[in-house]
Structure 1
Amino acid sequence: MTTNALHARHTAVMPSWLTTYYERPLALVQAAGRHVTDQDGNRYLDFFGGILTTSAGYDVAEIRERVQRQLATGVVHTSTLYLIESQVALAERIADLAGIEDPAVFFTNSGTEANETALLAATCHRGSGHVVALTDSYHGRSFGAIGISGLEGWRPSPLSPVRLTWAGNGRRGEPAALVADLRSRLAADDEPVAALIAEPVQGLAGFFAPPPGLLRGYQEVVADQGGLLISDEVQTGWGRLGSHLWGYEYQGLRPDLITFAKGLANGFPIGGVIGRRAVIDSLAGKSISTFGGNPLSTTAALATLDHLLDTDARGNAERIGRQLLDGLRRIAARHRCVGDVRGYGLLLAVEIAAGADDGAPAAGAAAARRILERCRELGLLVGVGGRHGNVLRIAPAMTVTGAEAAEALAILDRALADESRPSAPADRPLGVGAAMA
């Protein structure tokens, strides 16, 4: 089947809001290491990894073999109504790594569900539905998660099950003033705060880190009212930042709850919450998870975690991340379409101002999409995000090599050069994923 035929079938049965990257979407059929191949035989260096999910790369022997052994038992699913040894072992491992006193761990299927669970636990524990969230944040696609996500393009409904107070993420204003403003607004509010939820580095916002001290100040304000901190580590966890296993360490925070997903199982669906037992156990009544913590995903997660920790993937993320950031800064100095470059381990971003001298957000988004398409033509897959869809998101597997980083930099240099040329056509065909994760 051709890619065009598959795209036509996709369009016929999938929702219109289920967007894809590229004018001619990709269908990937084979992968190994940090490379993927589409059904037309084109091979790409993948520097986005299924939205930061294939953390160890593709077709890793140790992970594949352990999953195959579990498959061979015939036990792929049982539900949490039964004991699952791999689930318990993974929970024990994560509890040791979390840095939370007296932790309990609950597994879900995704980051969205993890954040929903954390919100449920925090609001039940506090007896309040009042939540503080950050501008430009993204916490998932469910009703509750959408309600606390600050990126307007990703909030299709104005309704929310929680009472919300917004706090600035630090793009504008000094941290001390922003903290003082939040304190003043909460002091005048009759409903106590249940929790502050924050990404240590905002993912869909274009890998933007709130400035030093801001989140710590917000946590102190919320804690003064007895509120909790939920650290959304769906994109920042497991050592992707290089210097720290968790993003909350990077920001100097003390979370009561940590949510995780994406890279833990190297592509198998898993998410979860780690929290103080007193908070997690505040949910009244009974509950189960049909698929969360299933034998296959937890086996894959244990194998992935072993691989990442035993191979010094965190150190590699630090080293290669520095190589990429230094290279991107050198490249940016040569190309007028680049407005900013930032990076934290293997979370790297190139903010596009515009294809020409027009700095309007729409022009920057259009330019970013052209660059995304050009990178694909040259054999590199990256992502796009940011408040206006004008940020290239670069997040290779944590096992990426220096040679692969150099190759990616050369492709990005060429793609940015093409966009920076005065003759770059403003009406060049665009992809359809302007604000995709």
Structure 2
Amino acid sequence: MTSTAELAQRYRAVFPSWLGPLHGENPISIDHGDGGYVWDLEGNRYLDFFGGVLTTMIGHNQPDVTAAVQAQAAKVMHSSTLYLNEEMVALAEEIAAVSGIPDARVFFTASGSEANDTALLLATSYRRSNQVLAMRNSYHGRSFTTQAITSHSSWRSSSISGLDVTFVQGGYRLRSPFRDLDDDAYTQACCGDLEQILDMTSAGGAGSGVACLIAEPIQGVGGFATPPDGFFGQMHKILEGRDILFISDEVQTGWGRTGEHFWGYQAHGVTPDMLTFAKGVGNGVGLAGVVARAEVMDTIKVTSFSTFGGNPLAAAAGRATLKHVLDHDLQGNALRMGERFRRRLDPLIADVAWIAEVRGRGLMIAIETVQDDSLHPDPAKAVAVADGCKERGLLVGKGGLYGNVVRIAPMLNVSESEIDEAVDIIAATVAAIG
């Protein structure tokens, strides 16, 4: 039988140098999973609180999803959007219905990067402009276009782009020049920054030529940076007056993960012109897409399609996942379990000098590590937390501009006992680091 060490050797020999597994020289293999747990090739069990980067959303080998995929695989696995397929059409109807966008149209893609790429194509075509606004500390994907709107130097592989991008102040409050302001004042300061940028940098004056603002309601790779409620609603008032579209990147916040809302944008009293989704919607099967109001979606006048987007197999997984989330009120569970996690963890690590902040919402929780009693990032501590948790049987992720943020994202149907197990492991890990 192949060992984890042997597999790691083969991994490094065949993949590019810039593709590296978590945990550096001691990665884990994932052989199989069940519910909230996975097992490696040696049979070691881990509680999975990262879900393949928030993608296995309702548990490994989830019976409803597994049955739907198996049934569809026995019929037909692929047809593309050029052919009619009931699973694809039905999923589009269901996503349009829960999107909150009026007169919604849906276009399926195979990944979040491609979904955001498509949203930018729509916005720039609709507004006939290549000028785009994005948020500082943002991450929107790995494709050539989405790299241009990624304000995250450790994840940005190229500055070459046909887009004219300007980055505005956003939700990463800890390192913002406005961090000492209260919620309302912070929001107004960021809105003031937005207005000044529009007045100073947009061709045609006063933002008249800007196509869109794209934003994550809670920044994912950016370390679950969370703005005050209503933040994007106030920004939207400025955008709306200048006919600038608002795109909500819901790749990580969608499907109830924040607990309080089904979509992240709903915390802000605004309805976006477009939203993008990916990751958890297929519970591990590649499925993503864009929802836009018809006027914006129909701006494309040539024939276009997606080869893999919305294929019957992915659509069947998506329908089963969405139904399970809604039927079992997993949004409500995300709220309750997120509160339980914070209620138990916060007192245990409140006095740790190298933890600057615990933040997030629902089942998006982050711990930012710094050098003692400062804001100077300490990525080594984040690595120590992630590795220490792994050694104790818990998988968490990393992120943040400086690689100094531990990202924690349990399954939406996580149980109380799993929450308690994870908190105990994190607390023991933090105590061992000292």
TM-score range, shorter chain: over 0.9
Q: Which residue of structure 1 aligns with residue 376 of structure 2?
A: 360
* Aligned residue in 1 for 2:258: 241
Given that residues 325 and 342 in structure 1 are in contact (C-alpha distance below 8 angstroms), is that contact kept between their aligned partners in structure 2?
A: no
Which amino acid in structure 2 is aligned with residue 176 of structure 1?
Q
| Equivalent in the alignment of 2:247 | 230
Matching residue within 159, 171, 189 for 1:177: 189
Consecutive unaligned residues in structure 1, runs of 5 or more: 421-437
State the alpha-carbon separation in 2 of the partners of residues 108 and 236 from structure 1: 18
Per the alignment, residue 34 of structure 1 pairs with 36
User: Contact 2:4–2:40 at 8 Å: present in 1 too?
Assistant: no
1:114 and 2:131 are equivalent in the alignment: no
Residue of structure 1 in register with 2:199 after alignment: 187
Partner residue in 2 for 1:90: 91
2:187, 2:335 → 1: CA distance?
27
Most deviating of 374-383 and 385-394: 385-394
Distance 1:401 1:243 in 2: 18
Which residue, 311, 316, 338 being the options, matches 1:321?
338
Following superposition of structure 1 onto structure 2, how do residues 113-192 of structure 1 map, counting pairs within 5 Å? 113-170=114-171, 171=173, 172=176, 173=178, 174-188=186-200, 189-191=202-204, 192=209
Separation in structure 2 between the aligned mates of residue 334 and residue 34 of structure 1, nearest angstrom: 30
Counterpart in the other structure of 2:424: 410
- Of residues 396, 399, 403, the one that matches 2:410 is 396
C-alpha distance in structure 1 between counterparts of 2:117 and 2:18, whole Å: 22
C-alpha displacement of 1:359: 5.4
Bigger mean CA offset, 183-192 vs 373-382:
183-192
**In structure 1, distance between residues paired with 2:414 and 2:3:** 31
- Normalising by structure 2, we get a TM-score of 0.93
> What letter matches 2:430 in structure 1?
L
For residue 196 of structure 1, the aligned residue among 213, 216, 220 is 213
What SS does the aligned partner of 1:269 have?
coil
CA distance in 1, matches of 2:51, 2:297: 31
Query: Which residues in structure 2 correspond to 1:202-281 (within 5 Å)?
Result: 202-281=219-298
Deviation at 1:360, TM superposition (A): 2.9
Aligned residues of 2:226 and 2:360 also touching (Cα < 8 A)? no
Question: Following TM superposition, by how much is the alpha carbon of 1:357 offset from its aligned partner in structure 2, in angstroms?
Answer: 6.2
Question: TM-score, length-normalised on structure 1?
Answer: 0.93
4+ residue runs of structure 1 moved beyond 6 angstroms?
none
| Residues 380 and 404 in structure 2, CA contact (< 8 A), matched pair in contact too | yes
Considering only aligned residues, what root-mean-square deviation do their CA atoms show, in Å?
1.3
Whether the 8 Å contact between 1:143 and 1:161 is mirrored in structure 2 is no
Question: How far off is 1:353 after superposition?
Answer: 1.7
Contact 1:196 1:219 (C-alpha < 8 Å) held by counterparts = no
Stretch of structure 1 that moved more, 210-219 or 224-233: 210-219
Task: State the 1:169 CA deviation.
Answer: 1.2
Alpha-carbon separation, structure 2, partners of 1:210 and 1:243 = 14
Q: Is the 8 A contact 1:372 1:383 kept in 2?
A: yes
Separation in 1 of the partners of 2:401 and 2:193?
A: 23
Give the Cα separation in 2 of the matches to 1:131 and 1:242.
30
Tell me the equivalent position of 2:390: 376
- 1:95 maps to a residue whose letter is A
- The amino acid across from 1:131 in the alignment is V
**Matching of residues 340-359 of structure 1 within 5 Å:** 340-354=357-371
- 1:309 correspondence with 2:326: yes
